[in-house]
Amino acid sequence: MVLKQESGFTYGLLANHISSFAGDSGRQDISATFLQPFLAYTTKTYTTLALNSESTYDGKNSQWTVPIILQVTQILKIGSQPFSLQLGYRYYADAPTGGPDWGLRFTLTFLFPK
């Protein structure tokens, strides 16, 4: 992971690769790469606008899955309990045959700061 934060912006890249090298010979081999570049801007009112991808490459089948994700997140409070609401839209720039074209994500996260 590489990450930089400055002037309300957060940007970077999360990446990993997994590959099979041992185990049951009856199982299919694995060669999978995950790439998540991200860019986010947080305002002074704790609204975050983010653009990222959660791309995967299946090396054994030479197939990419590339969602482009736009998200809006807001931190709020009910009484003294902070929480985060997030709404996201994903467009699949590339996907396996029969894969999705788009998707929605809604997230509610309770925050417990020290």
What is the sign of the dihedral through the CA atoms of 77, 78, 80 and 82?
A: negative
Q: Beta partners for 13?
A: 2, 37
What is the DSSP code string of 34-96?
A: EEEEEEEEE-TTSEEEEEEE-EEEETTTTEEEEEEEEEEEEEEEETTEEEEEEEEEEEEEE--
Question: Would you place residue 29 in the very low, low, confident or very high pLDDT band (cuts 50, 70, 90)?
Answer: confident
pLDDT for residue 26: 82
pLDDT for residue 23: 77
Using CA atoms, how far apart are residues 76 and 13, in angstroms rounded to an integer? 27
pLDDT digits (tens, 9 = 90+) for 54-92: 999 999 999 999 999 999 999 999 999 999 999 999 999
pLDDT for residue 27: 82
> Look-up: residue for tokens 């054994």?
60
Question: Would you place residue 16 in the very low, low, confident or very high pLDDT band (cuts 50, 70, 90)?
Answer: very high
- Give the whole-number percent of the chain exceeding pLDDT 90: 89
Higher-confidence residue of 12 and 20: namely 12
pLDDT for residue 113: 85
pLDDT for residue 50: 98
